[in-house]
Amino acid sequence: MRKKILKSFDWKYFTFAKKRLEFLFKQFKIIQNDSVFKIGTDSIILGSWVNFEKASNILDVGCGTGLLSLMAAQKEIKANVLGIDLQKDAADLSFSNFQNAPFSDRLKVVNEHFIQISNTSNLKFDYIISNPPYFSSGEASKHRNLGIARHNSALPIIEFWNCVNKISSDKTKIGLIYPFEEAQICIINAMEIGWNVHRRLNIYPKETEINGMNPKRVALEFSRENLPFEVDDLFILAKNGHYTKEYIVLTKDFYL
């Protein structure tokens, strides 16, 4: 996959893993199916970029195939990871992928809504990660499960933060990825209830002059603490169509 050269950048190529039923990483594999949103570069970048250091309990909201949960378990070897998904097909698929992982004893998945988890859990998570649904308008997918995975009607941004507040502590960190406009809304909603962005990664499809161009995606890490603000830019492809050195270094612990 890394050696593929694209004549022109198509974000959909990176957003979906085509129809591959099995996606191999260095320490685990992901089985996919057509009823659950497939592996995309958004999640791979987010899982590679976030800092799980010293997190004992990690929550993956909307776990889908289980990719972010598996990346978290690989990166933070002492952490217990809980994946949750509203869709039973997704929860079942995550369970299967967790069972095949070498760190399956630290992975768990439940088929519940984030609202329900936040209202019933007594646990305060050290890290909450999500590649959340972000489309707030437009036609939903004809496939109900994929529609819920892509559209935020099931969990609007403001409701996400209300849930976060119930199961987080002053030390909790939140890792998210959004398209540019939705990222700006997310930041505003978070700041209104006491969360600050302390790390930001602006993601561009191809190496080019930025010149005021908005990034295609934005990865964000939030904290309640007053931490120094860090911002970086990431280009996925170089001008020659190959992955950039920065992208390869970022994802090297996961890609074969």
- pLDDT digits 0-9 by tens, 184-241: 999 999 999 999 999 999 999 998 767 778 999 999 999 999 999 999 999 999 999 9
Q: How confident is the prediction for the chain on average, in pLDDT?
A: 86
The DSSP symbol for 69 reads H
Asked if residue 9 belongs to a domain, the reply is: no
The answer, yes or no, to whether residue 254 has pLDDT greater than 80, is yes
Asked if residue 48 belongs to a domain, the reply is: yes
Asked if residue 125 belongs to a domain, the reply is: yes
The answer, yes or no, to whether residue 151 has pLDDT greater than 80, is no
Which residue pairs, CB below 8 angstroms and at least 24 apart, start in 142-145?
Answer: 143/34, 143/35, 145/35, 145/36, 145/37, 145/87, 145/89, 145/90
If you average pLDDT over residues 146-155, what whole number do you get?
Answer: 49
Domain extent for 178: 40-251
The answer, yes or no, to whether residue 8 has pLDDT greater than 60, is no
What pLDDT band is residue 243 in, cutting at 50, 70 and 90? Answer: very high
Residue 121 is predicted with a pLDDT of 94
User: Between 39 and 9, where is the model more confident?
Assistant: 39
Q: How far apart are CA 44 and CA 244, in angstroms?
A: 15
Asked if residue 30 belongs to a domain, the reply is: no
Residue 82: alpha-carbon gap to chain centroid: 14
Asked if residue 117 belongs to a domain, the reply is: yes
Asked if residue 107 belongs to a domain, the reply is: yes
Asked if residue 4 belongs to a domain, the reply is: no
Asked if residue 110 belongs to a domain, the reply is: yes
Residue 209 is predicted with a pLDDT of 65
If you average pLDDT over residues 48-64, what whole number do you get?
Answer: 97
Total domains, the chain: 1
Assign residue 66 the CATH number of its domain: 3.40.50.150
Q: How far apart are CA 78 and CA 57, in angstroms?
A: 9
Token pair listed for 181: 């406009």
Residue 19 is predicted with a pLDDT of 52
Phi, psi angle pair for 150, to nearest 5°? -100, -25
The answer, yes or no, to whether residue 12 has pLDDT greater than 50, is no
What pLDDT band is residue 249 in, cutting at 50, 70 and 90? Answer: very high
- Please write the tens of the pLDDT for every residue from 152-179: 456 789 999 999 999 999 999 999 999 9
- 151 - beta bridge partners? 135
Residue 11 is predicted with a pLDDT of 45
Residue 181 is predicted with a pLDDT of 94
The DSSP symbol for 216 reads S
Q: How far apart are CA 36 and CA 143, in angstroms?
A: 10
Point out the least confidently predicted range of 23-32, 81-90, 136-145, 218-227: 136-145
